[in-house]
Amino acid sequence: MKIGFNGASTMKATLQEDLEAAEKLGYDYIEIWAAKLKHYLATHSTEDLVNRFARSEVKPYAINSIEMISFRSAEQEAELMKELESLSQIAQQLQCPYIVVVPSIDIKNVTQEEIHQETVRILNKMAPLAAKYQVALAFEFLGFQNCTVNTLKQAREIVLEVNRDNVGMVVDTFHFFANDSKLEDLRQTDESHIFIFHINDAEDIPKDQLSDSKRLLPGLGVIPLVDIIQAIQSTGYDRMISIEMFRPEYWEWTAEKVGRMAKEQTEKVLKLAME
């Protein structure tokens, strides 16, 4: 499994710092945090970044992320499509295959059926635009109670109904664990529907208190990572694993320190999963 550096784990570092750390530590891929990309492009061109990657062993894997894609007003939806087109153009130039897209949270008075229909609708609207730029949408469910799509099963049903080559899922161990997604559902997932695998761990606290800030380095928490890795590998998925942590404590570390610890811990856990 190739290893990906994730800009969300080093929120205070710049894109250049992330990339330098990823190169130094021998990562294969980088997931580009979208806000860092915007910051970079305030003083550089996309062409500068294309040239930077041309000199690098590290390849861009995803731009992460466009959030709150569903249940937008008409005006907000037009904004979403503009953002998608802008990021898709950049992704195409970078030869970056994926953009991560995230369902909405805190939507009141909607049924499960309405959530399903609306999420299918918006992905069907976004997918052809992304396809125009040879980009695929990696849809990431969030395992929070207030997220409209919060289990693997629910996300998979949406992706199956959309049924497009350029729409698949992100499986994130934290979100998988936080809302009790089932290993059996993961084992039954078609490998072609898994676009990205995010790994991380979580503190030993009640699940309803888990927030992004409670994520930990892989192997330091309570998520059954070996079981999840074995389940995902049983589908045939073996492409990439990216370490995504969102922990403010780690944001105070240098990108190189986060990257080194993340890679060491992930390799340890992957080794356990092979035994």
Is there a cis peptide before residue 45, judged by omega within 30 degrees of 0?
Answer: no
Pick one of 118, 172, 201, 212: the residue that binds Zn ion (CB under 5 A).
172
Judged by beta carbon, residue 19 or residue 142, the one nearer Zn ion is 142
Q: In this structure, is the dihedral angle defined by the CA atoms of residues 164, 167, 172 and 176, taken in order, positive or negative?
A: negative
Beta carbon of residue 199, minimum distance to Zn ion (angstroms, whole number) = 9
3-state DSSP helix/strand/coil % of the chain, to nearest 5: 50, 20, 30
Alpha-carbon Rg for the chain in angstroms = 18
Query: Pattern 71-110, binding to Zn ion, x per CB under 5 A?
Result: ----------------------------------------
181: CB partners within 8 A, 6+ apart: 143, 151, 152, 153, 175
Judged by beta carbon, residue 15 or residue 245, the one nearer Zn ion is 245
Beta carbon of residue 33, minimum distance to Zn ion (angstroms, whole number) = 11
Q: Residue 122 has which token pair?
A: 């918006």
Q: Which stretch binds Zn ion (CB under 5 A): 117-125, 166-174, 227-235, 263-271?
A: 166-174
Pick one of 198, 215, 247, 263: the residue that binds Zn ion (CB under 5 A).
198
Q: What residues from 209 to 268 belong to the interface with Zn ion (CB under 5 A)?
A: 244
Beta carbon of residue 103, minimum distance to Zn ion (angstroms, whole number) = 12
Beta carbon of residue 144, minimum distance to Zn ion (angstroms, whole number) = 12
Judged by beta carbon, residue 128 or residue 248, the one nearer Zn ion is 248
* Residue 126 near residue 69, CB atoms below 8 Å: yes
| Residue 249 to residue 165: CA distance in whole angstroms | 38
Footprint of Zn ion on this chain (CB under 5 A)?
172, 198, 244
